């Protein structure tokens, strides 16, 4: 594979330095190692949502994506996977994290492999990912990596290797990264098989053209999202 | 090229004085704006349709007919006509009425409406917005073009032997534009029928506008109505002007900062950079709007939003006057000069009648008790089946 695997890591921490950013970096590093071990070239781009806080608010109020936010949205649209990490506030993701998703088109998350992470001051927030964060990605129809990684402050120093009921942070990170790598390898293999089969995925089973519009080659994908009128009116 | 102003007729407090105009004051000032728009040489006045506060124009044809009676030349249009929640039969009737009473000075911009609760108030569902727009508009066209309509669809009660009255003036329907900001399906719809596409891009960056218009142009050509460059395109615009640029910035900023749509969001600096909003001298507005055609191709209609954000009625009139006297004459001259000869103007009633006569001969406006088609002397159904046989 010559094309690098592109991963965008989102960190929604508010302070600098932030433990959320630390967890995002750890997850990125682990994912990179896993993928590189399998011979892939990996390109990770890390985005601190804090730096886009005003752009995110503007996008919510105007309903259009400004230039700086637009660059990030495009990176996500074309990324092979996203690592999304948020602090847990009031048993949910940070408002900044939620607003970021609220401000953009939901289509770009469909089928996107996403590894979830969260940080908090106390281990008592550990189920926040499963109860308050994962459901949104289920709604967005992302491919969620089965293992999500929660880190409380204490985890960054804990050494509990060998305790079955409390896997230390580093081994949870390794497991999540391995699952993400597996997901990407499976997706890559499927795409390759499809390409070898003749690349005729644009037609339906009976060989007729797929039921989406054909926009000009220079237009972004969102502008192909229509049904030709003849078909819609039942006149073709 | 046509230039015009549109108002969505919102009631917004004046941030400078705290004063809130009454509904009556707003309606009266809108009529005054339309009269002034004609006086200063603008081509189009358009009014929005809303069925919820804080808006005051639930009945556009009432307002437009009243304006039509006080003007002679200006085209009366909409921004937009709700093709989803209005019964297409009522749209066909209302706008044919308006067409007759104003001597054909009518066109429409179709829109879906983006306020969720309005749909159920009118017995519809916003989730079927696109489907409603497609079905209702297809029926609307038939109601205008065919004397007798038999119709069945998904969203309204069937029609058997229905004639929408009055029949369109001179036998030609008002020209229709389809307004859409984000839905490629509506660009496709406009292209399919060879109708106009009005992309009201006032809150959008040119990178988006450009692609949306390009999609419409490509599909217009695909459906054989002409080349992509000949498609009928309109854009939205926004400006605030004073002779001295800095005065414009100082005066408009408090209104911008508190405006219902973008207030509390981006700075005026960012917003003027990313969207067509231009704050400055009339010359700066000219300069900015001369560049639009570089992005979307030569186009036919440029609309401006001037009446918004709680600006005082007097200020709005001053803005319309500046637009008509100092901006539009230059834009008109320059944009008409750069447009190739084979790119048409936007259709008007006169050009549509001329085209119909060229194709089908003179229109006989004798009243048809026996419902029939005055172009061919046959009933509409017969004339269609004859075409099929030929």
Q: Which CATH architecture has domain B2-389?
A: Alpha-Beta Barrel (3.20)
- Out of A96-105, B127-136, B361-370, pick the least confident: B361-370
**B198: β partners:** B179, B234
Cα(A7)–Cα(A30) distance, rounded to whole angstroms?
Answer: 12
- H or E element, residue A45: strand A42-48
A174 in the same domain as A129: yes
Cα(A135)–Cα(A154) distance, rounded to whole angstroms?
Answer: 26
Domain hosting A219: range is 208-236
pLDDT of B335 reads 97
- Out of A160-174, A200-214, B153-167, B261-275, pick the least confident: A200-214
A225 close contact with B: CB closer than 8 A: yes
Q: How many Cβ atoms are within 10 Å of A229's Cβ, its own excluded?
A: 21
pLDDT at A201 over 60: no
Q: How far is CA B359 from CA A68, B96, B287, B362, in A?
A: 53, 22, 41, 9
pLDDT at A207 over 90: no
What digits encode the pLDDT tens for the residues B237-255? 999 999 999 999 999 999 9
Residue A177: which CATH number?
3.40.50.360
**Mean confidence (pLDDT) of chain B:** 93
Interacting residues of B32 by C-beta distance below 8 A, sequence separation 6+: B313, B317
pLDDT at B298 over 70: yes
Nearest to B153 by CA among B106, B214, B89: B89
User: Average pLDDT, stretch B202-230?
Assistant: 95
Task: Look up residue B370 and give its two tokens.
Answer: 């026996």
User: Where in chain B are the domains?
Assistant: 2-389
A194 close contact with B: CB closer than 8 A: no
Per the CB < 8 Å rule, is B184 touching A229? no
In chain B, the DSSP E strands lie at 2-7, 44-47, 75-78, 81-82, 107-111, 149-151, 159-162, 175-179, 196-199, 233-235, 239-241, 278-280, 301-307
Q: What are phi and psi of B285, to 5 degrees?
A: -65, -45
Please, what is the Cα angle at B53 between B320 and B304, to 5 degrees? 20
Query: How far from chain centre, in Å, is Cα B155?
Result: 24
A234 in the same domain as A143: no
Cα(B196)–Cα(B208) distance, rounded to whole angstroms?
Answer: 18
Name the DSSP class of B14: -
Q: How far is CA A35 from CA A9, A183, B19, in A?
A: 15, 11, 64
| Cα nearest neighbour of B186 on chain A | A226
Cα(A37)–Cα(B79) distance, rounded to whole angstroms?
Answer: 59
CB B255 within 8 A of CB B266: no
CB A126 within 8 A of CB A119: no
Nearest to A153 by CA among A22, A29, A46: A22
A212 in the same domain as A179: no
Distance of residue A105 Cα from the nearest chain B Cα, in angstroms: 11
A191 in the same domain as A103: yes
Q: How far is CA A33 from CA A29, A30, A102, A143, B179, in A?
A: 6, 5, 32, 21, 50
| Cα nearest neighbour of B185 on chain A | A226
A228 close contact with B: CB closer than 8 A: yes
Q: How far is CA B239 from CA B213, B261, B270, B303, B321, in A?
A: 22, 15, 15, 11, 12
Q: How far apart are the first and last CA of chain B?
A: 39
pLDDT of B155 reads 96
Distance of residue A60 Cα from the nearest chain B Cα, in angstroms: 8
A74 in the same domain as A116: yes
pLDDT over 90, % of chain A? 66
pLDDT at B379 over 90: no
- Out of A224-228, B230-234, B366-370, pick the least confident: B366-370
A54 in the same domain as A149: yes
Query: What is the pLDDT confidence band of residue A49, given thresholds at 50, 70 and 90?
Result: very high
Query: What is the pLDDT confidence band of residue B312, given thresholds at 50, 70 and 90?
Result: very high
- Out of A203-212, A218-227, B44-53, B273-282, pick the least confident: A203-212
Provide the angle, in degrees to the nearest 10, between the axes of the packed helices B23-39 and B60-69.
50
**B35: β partners:** none
Q: Is residue A34 part of a domain?
A: yes
A212 in the same domain as A191: no
A221 close contact with B: CB closer than 8 A: no
Mutate to test the interface with B, among A67, A212, A220, A226 (most CBs of B within 10 A): A226
A222 in the same domain as A191: no
Task: Look up residue A38 and give its two tokens.
Answer: 């399998």
Q: Is the dihedral of CA B308, B312, B317, B321 positive or negative?
A: negative
Residue A232: list chain B partners with CB under 8 A. 134
pLDDT at B19 over 50: yes
**Which one is predicted more confidently, B52 or B262?**
B52
Task: Look up residue A69 and give its two tokens.
Answer: 């936010």
A133 in the same domain as A21: yes
Domain count, chain A: 2
Nearest to B282 by CA among B228, B223, B241, B317: B241
Q: Is residue A108 part of a domain?
A: yes
Q: B125-128: which pairs have CB atoms within 8 A and are 24 or more residues apart?
A: B128/B155
| pTM of this structure | 0.85
- The per-type count for chain B, helices as H runs and strands as E runs, is 15, 13
Mutate to test the interface with B, among A216, A217, A218, A220 (most CBs of B within 10 A): A216
pLDDT of B386 reads 45
pLDDT at A43 over 90: yes
- H or E element, residue A114: strand A113-120
Residue B192: list chain A partners with CB under 8 A. 229-230
A83 in the same domain as A114: yes
pLDDT at B387 over 60: no
A30 CB-contact burial (10 Å; exposed 0-12 / middle 13-18 / buried 19+): buried
pLDDT at A236 over 90: no
A216 in the same domain as A106: no
Nearest to B109 by CA among B253, B233, B228: B233
- H or E element, residue B272: helix B268-274
Distance of residue B262 Cα from the nearest chain A Cα, in angstroms: 5
CB B94 within 8 A of CB B160: no
ipTM, interface predicted TM-score of the complex: 0.85
A147 in the same domain as A52: yes
pLDDT of A205 reads 43
């Amino acid at each position: 594979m010559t094309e690098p695997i592109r991963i965008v890591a989102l960190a929604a921490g508010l302070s600098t330095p932030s433990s959320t950013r630390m967890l995002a970096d750890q997850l990125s590093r682990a994912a990179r190692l896993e993928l590189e071990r399998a011979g892939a070239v990996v390109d990770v781009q890390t985005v601190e949502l804090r730096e886009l806080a005003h752009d995110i608010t503007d996008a919510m109020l105007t309903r259009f994506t400004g230039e700086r936010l637009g660059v990030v949205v495009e990176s996500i649209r074309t990324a092979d996977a996203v690592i999304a990490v948020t602090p847990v506030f009031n048993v949910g993701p940070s408002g900044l994290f939620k607003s970021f998703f609220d401000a953009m088109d939901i289509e770009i998350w469909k089928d996107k492999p996403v590894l979830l992470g969260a940080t908090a001051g106390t281990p008592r927030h550990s189920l926040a990912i499963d109860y308050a964060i994962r459901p949104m990605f289920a709604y967005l129809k992302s491919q969620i990596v089965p293992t999500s990684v929660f880190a409380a402050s204490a985890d960054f120093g804990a050494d509990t290797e060998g305790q079955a009921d409390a896997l230390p942070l580093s081994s949870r990170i390794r497991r999540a990264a391995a699952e993400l790598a597996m997901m990407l390898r499976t997706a890559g293999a499927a795409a390759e098989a499809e390409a070898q089969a003749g690349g005729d995925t644009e037609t339906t089973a009976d060989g007729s053209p797929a039921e989406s519009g054909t926009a000009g080659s220079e237009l972004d994908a969102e502008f192909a999202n229509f049904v030709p009128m003849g078909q819609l009116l039942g006149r073709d | 090229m046509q230039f015009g102003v549109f108002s969505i007729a919102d009631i917004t407090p004046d941030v400078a004085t705290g004063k809130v105009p009454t509904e009556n004051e707003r309606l009266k000032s809108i009529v005054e704006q339309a009269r002034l728009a004609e006086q200063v040489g603008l081509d189009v006045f358009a009014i929005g349709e809303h069925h919820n506060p804080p808006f005051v124009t639930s009945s556009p044809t009432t307002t437009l007919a009243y304006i039509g009676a006080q003007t002679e030349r200006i085209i009366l249009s909409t921004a937009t006509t709700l093709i989803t929640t209005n019964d297409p039969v009522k749209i066909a009737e209302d706008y044919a009425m308006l067409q007759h009473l104003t001597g054909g000075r009518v066109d429409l911009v179709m829109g879906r409406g983006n306020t969720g609760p309005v749909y159920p108030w009118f017995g519809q569902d916003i989730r079927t917005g696109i489907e409603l727009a497609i079905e209702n508009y297809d029926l609307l066209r038939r109601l205008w073009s065919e004397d007798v309509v038999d119709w069945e669809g998904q969203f309204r009660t069937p029609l058997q032997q229905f004639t929408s009255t009055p029949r369109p003036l001179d036998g030609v329907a008002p020209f229709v534009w389809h307004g859409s900001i984000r839905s490629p399906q509506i660009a496709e719809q406009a292209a399919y029928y060879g109708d106009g596409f009005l992309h009201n891009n006032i809150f959008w960056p040119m990178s988006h506008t450009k692609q949306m218009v390009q999609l419409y142009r490509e599909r217009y050509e695909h459906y054989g109505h002409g080349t992509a460059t000949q498609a009928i395109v309109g854009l939205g615009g926004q400006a605030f002007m004073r002779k001295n640029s800095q005065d414009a910035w100082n005066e408009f900023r408090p209104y911008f900062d508190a405006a219902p749509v973008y207030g509390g969001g981006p700075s005026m600096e960012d917003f003027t950079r990313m969207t067509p909003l231009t704050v400055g001298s009339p010359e700066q507005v000219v300069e900015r709007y001369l560049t639009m055609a570089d992005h979307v191709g030569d186009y036919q209609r440029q609309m401006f939003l001037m009446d918004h954000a709680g600006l005082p009625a007097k200020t709005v009139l001053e803005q319309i006057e500046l637009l008509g006297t100092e901006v539009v004459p230059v834009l008109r001259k320059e944009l008409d000069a750069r447009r190739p000869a084979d790119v048409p103007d936007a259709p008007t009633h006169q050009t549509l009648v001329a085209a119909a006569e060229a194709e089908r001969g003179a229109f006989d406006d004798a009243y048809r008790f026996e419902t029939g088609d005055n172009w061919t002397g046959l009933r509409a159904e017969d004339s269609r089946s004859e075409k099929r046989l030929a």
